[in-house]
Amino acid sequence: MAKLRVCVIGTGTISDMHFQSYAKHPDVILYGVFDYVRERAEEKAQAYGIPHVYEELHEIFADPQVDAVSICTWNNSHAELAIAALEGGKHVLVEKPLSLNLEEAIEVQKAAQKNNRLLQVGFVRRFATNTKVLKSFIDDGKLGDIYYAKASCIRRIGNPGGWFADKERSGGGPLIDLGVHVIDICWYLMGRPKVKSISGHTYHQLGNRANVKNLKFYKAADYDKGKNTVEDLANALVTFENGASLFVDVSYTLHTKKDDIHVKLFGTKGGAELEPELVMISEENDTIINIHPQIDHLSFDFENAFQNEIDSFVQCCLTGAESIAPVEDGVEMMKILTGIYEAASKKCEVVFS
Ligand SMILES: NC(=O)c1ccc[n+]([C@@H]2O[C@H](COP(=O)([O-])OP(=O)(O)OC[C@H]3O[C@@H](n4cnc5c(N)ncnc54)[C@H](O)[C@@H]3O)[C@@H](O)[C@H]2O)c1
């Protein structure tokens, strides 16, 4: 089989998951890298034995040797870079979120269709073992019709600052950064119903709490305690055309005892918790039963999920198979995220026709 020559654009924290997963794939040649900060790109090129460190971005898109790119840059460049890569005939794996807003997302979708190239969105939780196991039970009808889902990703203190805290570059705070993952995984497992209406709130009450002492949390390379323009809490109720609904809340900081993540789905025949640990709930012989699958990874298995995501992207590029995280799902997710921000700013429900 021909090998896939891949370039990685943006060589910060998450790029390592892309590099190491590509490096383990027998049908991939890690071909080139680019970052605004050249030293960062050179460091990765050396670490992973990558031959080309590009001077300019457009050289990647014009290079006929390059088959595909991973985009691991700040959110504000995702759409622009994805479109340029697609126009250059490259397949694209773009980190979440697909774009800053719905309009950009639609442009990316058009570019993918026009150039007949794959665009896979980095919805890495779709590729996790616990998700795959639960999806197989859902596809078998074990939960019946899923009519309610509840997702929460609460950080007690965890605004990473830097570009994450700069709305211009990130598009928003915990909603677009963390909410995208938990909303997407619920929506995907609910069978991707069409969104009908959205109510939501965002709060800027606590700031980034840079004053807090004696408690460590992840900080971006360009952390500046004086800069923060994103919300610290968001919640929303999303209603779908089939009558199902999803309630979500996410925070970068909140006066709460500890961090908390949960993803729960409720159906007519059974329920499930995907996070913090996969468990299914059912009823048999007039008795409620909890089903505990015996698998290696009951929670989100970060490295394994990334490897699965990259393996799947490579497979789709080389064979033309369809991705399980296609561009149209990225567009729908931007519709939901943009809708929540809109409902919050207008202080009223947003209804889609
Ligand atoms: N899938 C996940 O679980 C996951 C986890 C973390 C981050 N992410 C996503 O990955 C992306 C990067 O996040 P990160 O934590 O690695 O950030 P980071 O700040 O550590 O790295 C980003 C890198 O991109 C470079 N960059 C930014 N814009 C660029 C451009 N237009 N051209 C070239 N280089 C550019 C920066 O110089 C930096 O080196 C974000 O979109 C984020 O949402 C996804």
Q: What number does the ligand 1 atom closest to the CA of 162 have?
A: 19
Give the chain's mean pLDDT: 97
Residue 221: its pLDDT value, please?
86
Q: Which two tokens stand for residue 255?
A: 């006066």
Q: Which two tokens stand for residue 167?
A: 């709305």
Tell me how far CA of residue 106 lies from CA of 112, 200, 326, in angstroms: 10, 23, 13
End-to-end C-alpha distance for the chain, whole angstroms = 46
User: What is the mean pLDDT of the segment spanning 275-284?
Assistant: 98
* Residue 126 per-residue DSSP state: G
122 C-beta closer than 6 A to ligand 1 = yes
Residue 2: its pLDDT value, please?
87
Which secondary structure element, helix H or strand E, spans residue 230, and what is its range? Answer: none
Residue 1: its pLDDT value, please?
63
**Sequence spans of domains, the chain:** 4-124+305-325, 126-300+333-351
User: What is the mean pLDDT of the segment spanning 320-332?
Assistant: 98
- CATH 3.40.50.720 is the classification of domain 4-124+305-325: yes
User: What is the mean pLDDT of the segment spanning 205-213?
Assistant: 96
Q: In this model, does residue 42 exceed pLDDT 90?
A: yes
Residue 328: its pLDDT value, please?
98
Residue 200 alpha carbon to ligand 1 centre in Å: 27
C-alpha to C-alpha distance for 107 and 78, rounded to whole angstroms: 12
127 C-beta closer than 6 A to ligand 1 = no
- Give percent of the chain above pLDDT 70: 100
Question: Following DSSP, what letter does each residue of 258-274 receive, concatenated?
Answer: S-EEEEEEEESS-EEEE
| CATH number for the segment(s) 126-300+333-351 | 3.30.360.10
- The string of pLDDT tens digits covering residues 158-204 is 999 999 999 999 999 999 999 999 999 999 999 999 999 999 999 99
pTM: 0.97
Question: Following DSSP, what letter does each residue of 233-291 receive, concatenated?
Answer: EEEEEEEETTS-EEEEEEESB-S-SS-EEEEEEEESS-EEEEESS-EEEEEETTEEEEE
Q: Which two tokens stand for residue 251?
A: 């925070």
User: What is the mean pLDDT of the segment spanning 294-300?
Assistant: 97
73 C-beta closer than 6 A to ligand 1 = yes
Q: What number does the ligand 1 atom closest to the CA of 78 have?
A: 41
